[in-house]
Structure 1
Amino acid sequence: MEERRRYRRLPIKLELEINSLFKQNNDIIKLNNKTIEVIDISKNGIGIMCSDNFPVNYYFNAKIEFDEERYFYCVVKIIRSSKQGNKYCLGCEFVGLADFLADKVDEYEELLNKSQIY
């Protein structure tokens, strides 16, 4: 199968707390600090695993934190969902992420390469 992704996925262990999901038409779903696990990241988005099936085409706010010095805030859009066992795997893309923030993913990849983690 030919790889069609523009950017390489990098493994990451990160937990996010989500307060709500929203759509541009002001449709809001309250989640009360739902914790999700980020399993991979690229310059384009993140892959997450969670116990709940969040609806596609909804957005949420996130803080992507590589370490205390390398992090950024962003808006993320859920673009796909699939069930894997008793969890859901969601594909999400960054919305309107500035280039200098996306470059933090490149910095993270350099750190991974230096430490030979993946």
Structure 2
Amino acid sequence: MQEKRKNVRLPIKLKLEVSNLFKQDGVKIENLDAEIEVFDISKAGIGFMSLSKLPVNYYFNATIEFENREEVILSVVKILYVTPIGNAGYRYGCEFVGLPSMYDYIFEEYAQNL
């Protein structure tokens, strides 16, 4: 199968916590404390799994720290889709919203060091 994505997905293992979700119309969901495990990342977004059911089309703030790097990526992430994975929870696909291209070099260097 031919890859149709604009950006290559890179494997990564990160554990994050989503505390708050929000929508552009001001709707908020607070105090979630949902643990997520990021399994891939690209310039466009992240894929993660969680035992928590999170709603699609909501946003959360993310701090991404790559191993052995000083730089930190601060971004807003939008949940695009969710797929149940049996008793293991849910698989999510998300996009970075407004991630500046100045971070591109971090992804390129990370890909070279895999």
TM-score after normalising by structure 1: 0.88
Q: 1-side partners of 2:4 and 2:91: how far apart? A: 19
> Any idea what the Cα deviations from partners look like across 1:86-106, whole Å, max 9, x if unmatched?
210000000000001233111
Structure 1 runs, 4 residues or longer, greater than 3 Å off: none
1:96-115, aligned counterparts within 5 Å?
A: 96-112=98-114
1:34 paired residue number? 34
Residue 110 of structure 1 and its aligned partner are, at CA, apart by 1.5
1:21–1:58 contact (8 Å) kept in structure 2: yes
1:76-115 → structure 2 map (5 Å cutoff): 76-86=77-87, 87-112=89-114
Unaligned segments of structure 2, at least 5 residues = none
**Which residue type is aligned with residue 30 of structure 2?**
K
Q: Normalized per residue, which structure has more strand? A: 1
Residue in 1 aligned with 2:48?
A: 48
What SS does the corresponding residue of 1:74 show, helix, strand or coil? strand
Alignment partner of 2:7: what SS? coil
Matched, 1:71 2:72: yes
- In 2, the alpha carbon distance for the partners of 1:85 and 1:71 equals 33
Q: TM-score, normalised by structure 2?
A: 0.91
Who is 2:15 aligned against?
A: 15
Query: Identical aligned pairs, as a percentage?
Result: 50
For residue 2 of structure 1, report the CA deviation from its aligned partner: 2.8
Matched with 1:115 is none
1:34 CA drift (Å): 2.0
Amino acid at match of 2:21: L
Alignment: residue pair count: 112
